[in-house]
Amino acid sequence: RRLAVLGSTGSIGRSALDVARRMPDRLKVTVLAAAGNWRELLAQVREFRPRVVALADEEAAGKIGPELNDDVTLLAARRISAD
């Protein structure tokens, strides 16, 4: 089964990744998403090798982007002005 973990750097997300870590024959992490903790997210990316990585913080996405392999799709939220 393919698994997308939203909030992967938070406590529930880390718990979900612990389950995936114990069941590599049954679960494949294909998407990791976080708010802004790009350093922890990068460590998760290196371990689980997802196809898609998403960050809610555009600045954090700019920091993690250069560290990702070319086969990883990076998504970042954009701030939309209320004007």
**What is the Cα 58 distance to its own chain's centre?**
13
Query: 61 by DSSP, 3-state: which?
Result: helix
Buried (b) or exposed (e) across 32-61, using 16+ Cβ within 10 A?
bbbbbbbeebbebbeebebeebbbebeebb
* pLDDT score at 81: 59
* pLDDT score at 77: 87
Residues lower than pLDDT 70 in the chain: 79-83
